[in-house]
Amino acid sequence: MKLGRLNHIGIATPSLEASIAYYREVMGATKVHAPFDLPAQGVKVCFVDTPGENGSAGTQIELIEPYDETSTITGFLAKNPAGGQHHMCYEVADIHEAKAWFEGLGCRVLGEPRIGAHGTLIFFVHPKDMNGVLTEIMETPKEGAAH
């Protein structure tokens, strides 16, 4: 497998609204996307852009709030009530090849590839098999696709 771009860093939060205010007012973020619900993934999402090189998109901050009490991030927030860094997401060219790679290494892939917030296939690898970091792998969006 070839490691691709760091697409986003997932930050779990009990309040998207409060986190958006923090990124705008404390961190000086100038591009905050409209929040949206992703019930299939159990989260409400808001992307904050960091600037990339030569005007291109940089790594994004992905703010995630539980969609309801059954959300996969409810347990994380129970342990970290103020929220915190939840996952790192790297792009790959071929999601199925990447899944086979991690499985071949004996890492626990959490479920089947599914459509993520950028509209491409994603999967997660268990943090205990990834040096303590919950790792999201996502297929690189096609050129010109919405971010």
Ligand X SMILES: CC[C@@H](C(=O)O)C(=O)SCCNC(=O)CCNC(=O)[C@H](O)C(C)(C)COP(=O)(O)OP(=O)(O)OC[C@H]1O[C@@H](n2cnc3c(N)ncnc32)[C@H](O)[C@@H]1OP(=O)(O)O
Applying CB under 5 A, the residues found at the interface with Co ion are 10, 62, 89, 136
Which long-range contacts does 124-133 make (Cβ < 8 Å, 24+ apart)? 124/87, 129/102, 129/105, 133/87, 133/88
Q: One-letter amino acid identity for 136?
A: E
Binding ligand X by CB under 6 A: which of 124, 135, 137, 139? 124
- Tell me the pairing of strands 109-115 and 121-125: antiparallel
Catalytic sites, residue numbers: 136
Residue 44 binds which entry of ligand X, Co ion, none, CB below 5-8 Å type-dependent: none
* Position of minimal CB gap to ligand X: 116
Binding ligand X by CB under 6 A: which of 11, 73, 95, 137? 73
Binding ligand X by CB under 6 A: which of 62, 65, 91, 139? 62
CA gap 3, 92 in Å, rounded:
6
- For 88, residues 6+ apart whose C-beta sits below 8 A from its C-beta are 6, 8, 9, 10, 133, 134, 135, 136
Q: Which residues bind ligand X (CB under 6 A)?
A: 10, 38, 41, 43, 45, 62, 64, 72-73, 75-76, 86-87, 89, 110, 116-117, 122, 124, 126-128, 132, 134, 136
